[in-house]
Amino acid sequence: MCQAAPLPSYEELAALVVELRSEPAQARARIANLEARLAQNSTNSSRPPFSLPHPLPGRSGRMAAMPTTPEYTQLSLAQRLTEHARTA
């Protein structure tokens, strides 16, 4: 036979009622805060509008030219890879 869980005491029930009564008020306050944040834009907020991050100081914002691998290195690498493929 299955035993029923013991009933909570009056004090436990009273504490639960107090806790549950405060939840709707907390939820309404949080909703009001979120709605106020949602209504903000760059004209009524202290934050600036969204913009891309600024480049690092002293940089023009352009990418530097990438150095190219010398032709002899490319040929040497191709030969080594071919030799490795043959022996593997």
pLDDT band at 42 (very low <50, low <70, confident <90, very high): low
d(CA 1, CA 63): 77
Q: 3-class SS at 30? A: helix
pLDDT digits (tens, 9 = 90+) for 4-31: 888 889 999 999 999 888 889 889 999 9
Can you give the pLDDT at residue 37?
A: 84
pTM of the model: 0.37
pLDDT digits (tens, 9 = 90+) for 44-68: 666 666 665 655 666 666 667 778 8
d(CA 36, CA 19): 26
